[in-house]
């Protein structure tokens, strides 16, 4: 919306804020334990947590209502609109950024310049040495992803409508060919984005993905899901991988029966949900 309205600087600011928020969330997740121990919680402790959570919610709600009703003077936005024409800007947003709040804009630009200088002065090694992004394979990768989203979404929706909680599912192991953290992560993310497939675990040492898939009615569905994950791997290797990565995936396009490809099928009566 900011780009359409002629305010790319606001779009960049929002992008940076959301990026930093994601970084903070990831840092918090890294501090959390890998496994949660299921133990018995004292009833008094549960009640205390509920009381504290409710009190915080009520306090935030009251604070928001009080601050919104505490304004006694008129808002300054009409003044910005009236004085925007005198600044020579094309819209109110540009007038605020380059005239009314020019020092704030200068500070934001200075932060970006300092960050750019630090990155340029202390360059890091490439994440994937020897990799060259290839525009045409990237376009093909995105086109296949869009087609998979539509096709898989339709299939999962039909299974839910037809079978409900009794939709059959399985957890399969898929042996990967690439040996790069970046490529394995990309394959896992693209696989999880497709409806009906969810990467439950990544075995980095043995280069295996444990994927929860549905629907599964027989061995042919298991083979089809495994081939779909390997197809994503080939497209990722061709799009952003090295030449050796692409060659490795091409040489193993018909490989089957590798160790760890035994599915762990779930009982349809257990009520799997997508």
pTM for this prediction: 0.51
Residue percentage of the chain with pLDDT more than 90:
12
Peptide bond into 73 cis (omega under 30): no
Quote the tokens at residue 53.
């959570």
Work out the burial of residue 213: count CB atoms within 10 Å of its CB; fewer than 13 is exposed, 13-18 middle, 19 or more buried: buried
List pLDDT tens digits, range 250-272: 665 544 444 444 444 444 444 44
Least confident of 22-31, 75-84, 206-215, 244-253: 244-253
List pLDDT tens digits, range 153-206: 888 888 888 877 778 888 999 999 888 888 888 899 899 888 888 898 888 889
The string over 226-244, giving b where at least 16 C-beta atoms fall within 10 Å of a residue's C-beta and e elsewhere, is bebbbebbbbbbbbbbbee
Q: Using a CB cutoff of 8 Å and minimum separation of 24, what contacts does 150-158 make? A: 152/194, 152/195, 152/196, 152/197, 153/195, 155/195, 155/196, 155/215, 156/195, 156/196, 156/214, 156/215, 156/274
Element (H, E) at 201: strand 197-203
Quote the tokens at residue 122.
């202390």
Nearest of 193, 166, 173, 182 to residue 236 by alpha carbon: 182
Does residue 116 surpass a pLDDT of 90?
A: no
How far is the C-alpha of 190 from the C-alpha of 193, rounded, in Å?
5
Edge-first strand listing for the sheet containing 208-213: 197-203, 208-213, 170-175, 264-265
How far is the C-alpha of 190 from the C-alpha of 69, rounded, in Å?
47
């Amino acid at each position: 919306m900011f780009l359409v309205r002629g305010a790319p600087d606001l779009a960049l600011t929002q992008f940076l804020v959301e990026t930093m928020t994601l970084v903070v969330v990831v840092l918090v997740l890294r501090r959390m334990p890998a496994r949660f121990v299921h133990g018995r919680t004292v009833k008094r402790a549960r009640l205390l947590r509920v009381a504290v959570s409710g009190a915080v919610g009520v306090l935030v709600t009251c604070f928001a209502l009080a601050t919104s009703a505490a304004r006694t003077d008129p808002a300054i936005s009409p003044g910005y609109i009236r004085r925007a024409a005198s600044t020579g800007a094309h819209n109110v947003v540009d007038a605020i950024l380059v005239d009314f709040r020019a020092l704030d804009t200068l500070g934001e630009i200075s932060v970006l310049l300092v960050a750019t200088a630090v990155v340029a002065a202390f360059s890091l090694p490439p994440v994937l040495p020897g990799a060259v992004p290839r525009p045409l394979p990237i376009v093909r990768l995105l086109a296949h992803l869009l087609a998979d989203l539509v096709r898989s979404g339709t299939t999962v929706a039909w299974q839910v409508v037809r079978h409900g909680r009794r939709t059959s599912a399985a957890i399969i192991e898929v042996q990967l060919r690439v040996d790069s953290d970046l490529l394995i992560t990309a394959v896992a993310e693209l696989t999880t984005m497709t409806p009906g497939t969810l990467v439950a675990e990544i075995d980095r040492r043995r280069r295996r993905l444990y994927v929860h898939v549905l629907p599964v009615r027989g061995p042919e569905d298991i083979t089809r899901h495994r081939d779909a994950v390997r197809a994503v791997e080939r497209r990722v290797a061709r799009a952003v991988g090295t030449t050796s990565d692409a060659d490795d995936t091409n040489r193993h396009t018909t490989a089957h029966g590798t160790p760890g490809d035994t599915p762990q099928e779930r009982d349809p009566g257990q009520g799997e949900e997508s």
